Amino acid sequence: MENFSKIVVTGGAGFIGSHLVDKLSNEELSIVVIDNLSAGFMENLKKHIGKPYFSFIKSDLKQLDDMWMEGFNNADVVYHLAANPEVKVSVINPKIHFNENVVTTFNVLEACRKNDIKYLVFASSSTVYGDAQKIPTPEDYYPLEPISVYGACKLACENLILAYSKLYGIRALILRYANIIGPRSGHGVIIDFINKLRNNPRELEILGDGTQRKSYLHIDDAIAATIHLFKKFVNDSKKYDIYNVGNDDWVTVKEIADIVIEEMGLGKVSYVFKLGTKDGRGWPGDVKFMLLDISKLKNTGWRPQWDSKEAVRKTVKQILAKNH
Protein backbone atom coordinates (compact mmCIF):
# COMPACT_ATOMS: atom_id res chain seq x y z
CA MET A 1 0.00 0.00 0.00
CA GLU A 2 1.60 3.17 -1.19
CA ASN A 3 3.14 5.50 1.37
CA PHE A 4 2.23 3.18 4.27
CA SER A 5 4.94 1.54 6.33
CA LYS A 6 3.20 0.13 9.43
CA ILE A 7 -0.18 -1.49 9.98
CA VAL A 8 -1.78 -2.70 13.22
CA VAL A 9 -4.29 -5.57 13.18
CA THR A 10 -6.23 -6.06 16.40
CA GLY A 11 -7.59 -9.58 16.72
CA GLY A 12 -5.04 -10.61 14.09
CA ALA A 13 -4.76 -14.19 15.38
CA GLY A 14 -8.48 -14.74 14.82
CA PHE A 15 -10.40 -15.96 11.79
CA ILE A 16 -10.75 -12.80 9.66
CA GLY A 17 -7.69 -11.12 11.19
CA SER A 18 -5.23 -13.89 10.36
CA HIS A 19 -6.43 -14.09 6.75
CA LEU A 20 -5.99 -10.31 6.51
CA VAL A 21 -2.43 -10.61 7.86
CA ASP A 22 -1.72 -13.29 5.22
CA LYS A 23 -2.81 -10.90 2.48
CA LEU A 24 -1.08 -7.82 3.90
CA SER A 25 2.20 -9.74 4.25
CA ASN A 26 2.51 -9.56 0.45
CA GLU A 27 2.89 -5.78 0.73
CA GLU A 28 6.10 -4.14 1.91
CA LEU A 29 4.79 -3.28 5.34
CA SER A 30 5.55 -3.85 8.96
CA ILE A 31 2.60 -5.62 10.60
CA VAL A 32 1.82 -5.56 14.31
CA VAL A 33 -0.80 -8.01 15.58
CA ILE A 34 -2.41 -7.42 18.98
CA ASP A 35 -4.49 -10.30 20.32
CA ASN A 36 -5.31 -11.78 23.75
CA LEU A 37 -5.79 -15.23 22.13
CA SER A 38 -9.27 -15.64 23.65
CA ALA A 39 -10.71 -16.46 20.21
CA GLY A 40 -7.54 -16.53 18.10
CA PHE A 41 -4.64 -18.97 17.80
CA MET A 42 -0.92 -18.55 17.18
CA GLU A 43 -1.26 -21.48 14.77
CA ASN A 44 -3.10 -19.09 12.43
CA LEU A 45 0.00 -16.86 12.25
CA LYS A 46 2.70 -19.53 12.17
CA LYS A 47 4.07 -18.61 8.74
CA HIS A 48 4.70 -15.01 9.88
CA ILE A 49 6.33 -15.64 13.27
CA GLY A 50 10.01 -14.70 13.20
CA LYS A 51 9.74 -12.78 9.92
CA PRO A 52 11.29 -9.27 9.96
CA TYR A 53 8.04 -7.54 8.96
CA PHE A 54 5.97 -9.18 11.71
CA SER A 55 5.55 -8.60 15.43
CA PHE A 56 3.00 -10.00 17.87
CA ILE A 57 1.81 -8.47 21.14
CA LYS A 58 -0.23 -10.71 23.43
CA SER A 59 -2.33 -8.22 25.33
CA ASP A 60 -5.90 -7.51 26.30
CA LEU A 61 -7.44 -4.46 24.64
CA LYS A 62 -10.00 -4.21 27.45
CA GLN A 63 -7.17 -2.68 29.50
CA LEU A 64 -5.56 0.58 28.36
CA ASP A 65 -1.92 -0.29 28.92
CA ASP A 66 1.41 0.85 27.53
CA MET A 67 2.40 -2.58 26.23
CA TRP A 68 -0.14 -2.76 23.41
CA MET A 69 -0.49 1.01 22.98
CA GLU A 70 3.20 1.19 22.06
CA GLY A 71 2.36 -1.05 19.13
CA PHE A 72 0.39 1.90 17.69
CA ASN A 73 3.48 4.16 17.59
CA ASN A 74 4.06 5.45 14.06
CA ALA A 75 1.35 3.21 12.60
CA ASP A 76 -0.47 4.45 9.50
CA VAL A 77 -3.54 2.21 9.65
CA VAL A 78 -5.36 0.21 12.32
CA TYR A 79 -7.56 -2.68 11.22
CA HIS A 80 -9.76 -3.20 14.28
CA LEU A 81 -11.08 -6.76 14.13
CA ALA A 82 -10.82 -7.75 17.80
CA ALA A 83 -14.23 -8.81 19.14
CA ASN A 84 -16.14 -11.75 20.52
CA PRO A 85 -17.73 -13.20 17.37
CA GLU A 86 -20.39 -15.40 19.02
CA VAL A 87 -23.80 -13.72 18.66
CA LYS A 88 -25.40 -16.42 20.84
CA VAL A 89 -23.10 -15.55 23.76
CA SER A 90 -24.54 -12.04 23.87
CA VAL A 91 -27.94 -13.48 24.85
CA ILE A 92 -26.56 -15.53 27.74
CA ASN A 93 -23.86 -13.15 28.95
CA PRO A 94 -24.36 -9.61 27.56
CA LYS A 95 -21.46 -8.16 29.55
CA ILE A 96 -18.94 -10.20 27.54
CA HIS A 97 -20.03 -8.46 24.36
CA PHE A 98 -20.08 -5.03 25.93
CA ASN A 99 -16.50 -5.50 27.15
CA GLU A 100 -15.12 -7.33 24.12
CA ASN A 101 -16.69 -4.94 21.61
CA VAL A 102 -17.54 -1.53 23.09
CA VAL A 103 -14.79 -1.22 25.72
CA THR A 104 -12.10 -2.53 23.39
CA THR A 105 -13.22 -0.21 20.60
CA PHE A 106 -13.16 2.80 22.92
CA ASN A 107 -9.62 1.87 24.02
CA VAL A 108 -8.49 1.37 20.42
CA LEU A 109 -9.91 4.79 19.52
CA GLU A 110 -8.04 6.34 22.44
CA ALA A 111 -4.82 4.72 21.23
CA CYS A 112 -5.53 6.05 17.72
CA ARG A 113 -6.13 9.54 19.08
CA LYS A 114 -3.00 9.59 21.22
CA ASN A 115 -0.82 8.24 18.40
CA ASP A 116 -2.33 10.40 15.63
CA ILE A 117 -3.41 7.36 13.61
CA LYS A 118 -4.73 8.54 10.27
CA TYR A 119 -6.86 5.55 9.23
CA LEU A 120 -9.09 3.08 11.04
CA VAL A 121 -10.88 0.14 9.40
CA PHE A 122 -13.57 -1.44 11.59
CA ALA A 123 -15.19 -4.86 11.22
CA SER A 124 -18.86 -4.22 11.88
CA SER A 125 -21.73 -6.60 11.18
CA SER A 126 -25.01 -7.07 9.34
CA THR A 127 -26.57 -7.54 12.80
CA VAL A 128 -26.74 -3.73 13.22
CA TYR A 129 -29.81 -3.79 10.92
CA GLY A 130 -31.81 -6.20 13.10
CA ASP A 131 -34.96 -7.53 11.42
CA ALA A 132 -34.76 -5.15 8.47
CA GLN A 133 -38.04 -4.41 6.70
CA LYS A 134 -36.18 -3.82 3.44
CA ILE A 135 -34.34 -6.77 1.89
CA PRO A 136 -31.75 -6.53 0.36
CA THR A 137 -30.78 -3.99 3.03
CA PRO A 138 -28.74 -0.93 1.94
CA GLU A 139 -26.24 0.99 4.07
CA ASP A 140 -28.62 3.94 4.50
CA TYR A 141 -31.48 1.76 5.82
CA TYR A 142 -33.28 3.32 8.78
CA PRO A 143 -34.06 2.84 11.61
CA LEU A 144 -31.22 0.63 12.76
CA GLU A 145 -32.81 -1.62 15.40
CA PRO A 146 -30.50 -4.48 16.38
CA ILE A 147 -32.20 -7.42 18.12
CA SER A 148 -29.09 -8.84 19.82
CA VAL A 149 -26.65 -7.32 22.31
CA TYR A 150 -23.94 -8.21 19.79
CA GLY A 151 -25.62 -6.09 17.10
CA ALA A 152 -26.27 -3.27 19.57
CA CYS A 153 -22.60 -3.29 20.60
CA LYS A 154 -21.43 -3.18 16.99
CA LEU A 155 -23.73 -0.21 16.36
CA ALA A 156 -22.43 1.51 19.51
CA CYS A 157 -18.89 1.00 18.20
CA GLU A 158 -19.84 2.55 14.86
CA ASN A 159 -21.19 5.62 16.63
CA LEU A 160 -18.08 5.96 18.81
CA ILE A 161 -15.92 5.73 15.70
CA LEU A 162 -18.03 8.34 13.93
CA ALA A 163 -17.62 10.75 16.86
CA TYR A 164 -13.85 10.21 17.00
CA SER A 165 -13.65 10.72 13.24
CA LYS A 166 -15.47 14.06 13.51
CA LEU A 167 -13.63 15.21 16.64
CA TYR A 168 -10.09 14.02 15.99
CA GLY A 169 -9.85 13.65 12.23
CA ILE A 170 -9.39 9.87 12.15
CA ARG A 171 -10.49 8.67 8.71
CA ALA A 172 -12.71 5.67 9.39
CA LEU A 173 -13.98 2.92 7.10
CA ILE A 174 -16.82 0.78 8.51
CA LEU A 175 -17.40 -2.63 6.92
CA ARG A 176 -20.69 -4.34 7.72
CA TYR A 177 -19.89 -7.98 7.02
CA ALA A 178 -22.46 -10.64 6.16
CA ASN A 179 -21.75 -14.19 7.44
CA ILE A 180 -18.06 -14.71 6.64
CA ILE A 181 -17.05 -18.36 6.31
CA GLY A 182 -13.93 -20.34 5.51
CA PRO A 183 -11.00 -22.19 7.08
CA ARG A 184 -9.89 -21.14 10.62
CA SER A 185 -13.40 -20.14 11.65
CA GLY A 186 -14.04 -21.57 15.10
CA HIS A 187 -17.81 -21.15 15.22
CA GLY A 188 -20.91 -20.96 13.07
CA VAL A 189 -23.43 -23.25 11.42
CA ILE A 190 -21.00 -25.17 9.17
CA ILE A 191 -18.62 -26.12 11.99
CA ASP A 192 -21.63 -26.97 14.17
CA PHE A 193 -23.09 -29.31 11.53
CA ILE A 194 -19.77 -31.05 10.78
CA ASN A 195 -19.11 -31.68 14.48
CA LYS A 196 -22.63 -32.95 15.12
CA LEU A 197 -22.55 -35.30 12.11
CA ARG A 198 -19.20 -36.72 13.17
CA ASN A 199 -20.77 -37.62 16.50
CA ASN A 200 -23.96 -38.99 14.93
CA PRO A 201 -23.98 -39.47 11.13
CA ARG A 202 -27.63 -40.53 11.11
CA GLU A 203 -29.27 -37.54 12.77
CA LEU A 204 -28.64 -33.79 12.70
CA GLU A 205 -30.02 -31.31 15.19
CA ILE A 206 -30.71 -27.98 13.48
CA LEU A 207 -31.25 -24.87 15.60
CA GLY A 208 -34.38 -23.14 14.32
CA ASP A 209 -36.87 -24.39 11.73
CA GLY A 210 -34.29 -24.54 8.92
CA THR A 211 -35.93 -21.79 6.86
CA GLN A 212 -33.60 -19.09 8.21
CA ARG A 213 -32.07 -17.55 5.11
CA LYS A 214 -28.85 -15.55 5.08
CA SER A 215 -26.05 -14.35 2.85
CA TYR A 216 -22.63 -16.04 3.13
CA LEU A 217 -19.30 -14.76 1.82
CA HIS A 218 -16.09 -16.78 1.59
CA ILE A 219 -13.19 -15.38 3.60
CA ASP A 220 -11.04 -14.96 0.46
CA ASP A 221 -13.73 -12.71 -1.00
CA ALA A 222 -14.15 -10.85 2.30
CA ILE A 223 -10.43 -10.05 2.53
CA ALA A 224 -10.22 -9.06 -1.15
CA ALA A 225 -13.18 -6.70 -0.66
CA THR A 226 -11.68 -5.27 2.54
CA ILE A 227 -8.35 -4.37 0.93
CA HIS A 228 -10.03 -3.15 -2.27
CA LEU A 229 -12.34 -0.82 -0.32
CA PHE A 230 -9.55 0.52 1.87
CA LYS A 231 -7.40 1.41 -1.14
CA LYS A 232 -10.39 3.18 -2.67
CA PHE A 233 -11.13 4.97 0.62
CA VAL A 234 -7.57 6.29 0.87
CA ASN A 235 -7.97 7.93 -2.54
CA ASP A 236 -11.37 9.42 -1.67
CA SER A 237 -11.89 12.67 0.19
CA LYS A 238 -14.40 11.20 2.68
CA LYS A 239 -13.55 11.23 6.37
CA TYR A 240 -15.97 8.37 7.13
CA ASP A 241 -17.69 5.75 5.01
CA ILE A 242 -19.74 2.57 5.41
CA TYR A 243 -19.97 -0.44 3.09
CA ASN A 244 -21.93 -3.65 3.22
CA VAL A 245 -19.64 -6.59 2.46
CA GLY A 246 -21.62 -9.68 1.50
CA ASN A 247 -23.06 -11.63 -1.40
CA ASP A 248 -25.81 -11.07 -3.96
CA ASP A 249 -27.78 -14.10 -2.85
CA TRP A 250 -28.67 -16.12 0.24
CA VAL A 251 -29.09 -19.70 1.36
CA THR A 252 -31.27 -21.45 3.96
CA VAL A 253 -29.93 -23.33 6.98
CA LYS A 254 -31.52 -26.53 5.62
CA GLU A 255 -29.70 -26.05 2.30
CA ILE A 256 -26.43 -25.69 4.23
CA ALA A 257 -27.20 -28.96 6.03
CA ASP A 258 -27.83 -30.65 2.66
CA ILE A 259 -24.47 -29.44 1.32
CA VAL A 260 -22.55 -30.56 4.44
CA ILE A 261 -24.13 -34.04 4.31
CA GLU A 262 -23.39 -34.36 0.59
CA GLU A 263 -19.74 -33.31 1.01
CA MET A 264 -19.29 -35.68 3.97
CA GLY A 265 -20.59 -38.51 1.80
CA LEU A 266 -23.28 -39.49 4.28
CA GLY A 267 -26.43 -41.43 3.44
CA LYS A 268 -29.87 -40.58 4.74
CA VAL A 269 -29.73 -38.22 7.69
CA SER A 270 -32.87 -37.29 9.64
CA TYR A 271 -33.21 -33.64 10.62
CA VAL A 272 -34.36 -32.67 14.11
CA PHE A 273 -35.38 -29.02 14.31
CA LYS A 274 -34.91 -27.30 17.67
CA LEU A 275 -36.77 -23.99 17.72
CA GLY A 276 -35.22 -21.27 19.84
CA THR A 277 -38.23 -18.96 19.37
CA LYS A 278 -41.87 -19.33 18.36
CA ASP A 279 -41.18 -17.97 14.89
CA GLY A 280 -38.48 -20.56 14.15
CA ARG A 281 -35.22 -18.75 14.91
CA GLY A 282 -32.20 -20.65 16.20
CA TRP A 283 -32.08 -18.58 19.40
CA PRO A 284 -33.44 -15.26 20.73
CA GLY A 285 -31.60 -12.41 18.99
CA ASP A 286 -30.93 -14.44 15.83
CA VAL A 287 -31.84 -12.47 12.70
CA LYS A 288 -33.94 -14.89 10.63
CA PHE A 289 -33.55 -13.29 7.19
CA MET A 290 -30.43 -11.34 6.19
CA LEU A 291 -29.42 -10.21 2.74
CA LEU A 292 -27.30 -7.10 2.35
CA ASP A 293 -27.60 -4.76 -0.61
CA ILE A 294 -24.03 -4.72 -1.98
CA SER A 295 -24.67 -2.42 -4.95
CA LYS A 296 -22.51 0.31 -3.37
CA LEU A 297 -19.62 -2.18 -3.10
CA LYS A 298 -20.17 -3.45 -6.65
CA ASN A 299 -20.22 0.11 -7.97
CA THR A 300 -16.55 0.36 -6.96
CA GLY A 301 -15.78 -2.38 -9.49
CA TRP A 302 -15.58 -5.35 -7.11
CA ARG A 303 -17.58 -8.60 -7.32
CA PRO A 304 -17.56 -11.76 -5.15
CA GLN A 305 -15.95 -14.79 -6.82
CA TRP A 306 -18.32 -17.28 -5.17
CA ASP A 307 -22.05 -17.03 -4.44
CA SER A 308 -23.45 -18.10 -1.06
CA LYS A 309 -23.91 -21.80 -1.93
CA GLU A 310 -20.49 -21.98 -3.60
CA ALA A 311 -18.92 -20.30 -0.55
CA VAL A 312 -20.60 -22.85 1.75
CA ARG A 313 -19.47 -25.81 -0.37
CA LYS A 314 -15.92 -24.47 -0.68
CA THR A 315 -15.73 -23.94 3.09
CA VAL A 316 -17.03 -27.44 3.87
CA LYS A 317 -14.44 -28.97 1.51
CA GLN A 318 -11.63 -26.91 3.08
CA ILE A 319 -12.61 -27.81 6.66
CA LEU A 320 -12.98 -31.51 5.85
CA ALA A 321 -9.65 -31.57 3.97
CA LYS A 322 -7.84 -29.97 6.91
CA ASN A 323 -9.30 -32.44 9.39
CA HIS A 324 -8.39 -35.57 7.41
Instruction: Determine the Cα–Cα distance for residues 299 and 170; give it in Å rounded to an integer.
Output: 25
Residues β-bridged to residue 77: 7, 119
Report strand pairing: 270-274 vs 179-181.
Answer: unpaired
Tally Cβ neighbours within 10 Å of residue 173.
24
Side-chain-facing half-sphere of 195: CA atoms under 13 Å: 8
Phi, psi (rounded to 5 degrees) for 186:
-100, 0
Active site annotation includes 150: yes
Instruction: Determine the Cα–Cα distance for residues 14 and 82; give it in Å rounded to an integer.
Output: 8
Report strand pairing: 77-80 vs 213-214.
Answer: unpaired
Please tell me which residue in 150, 177, 216, 243 is annotated as part of the active site. 150
Report the candidate in 295, 291, 174, 286 with the shortest Cα–Cα distance to residue 229: 174
- Rounded to 5°, the CA angle 213-181-142 comes to 50
Cis status, amide bond into 136, omega within 30 of 0: yes
Residues β-bridged to residue 7: 31, 77
Q: Which amino acid is at 253?
A: V
Instruction: Determine the Cα–Cα distance for residues 316 and 141; give it in Å rounded to an integer.
Output: 33
CB-based contact 137:214 (threshold 8 Å): no
Number of H helices, E strands in the chain: 11, 14
Catalytic residues: 150
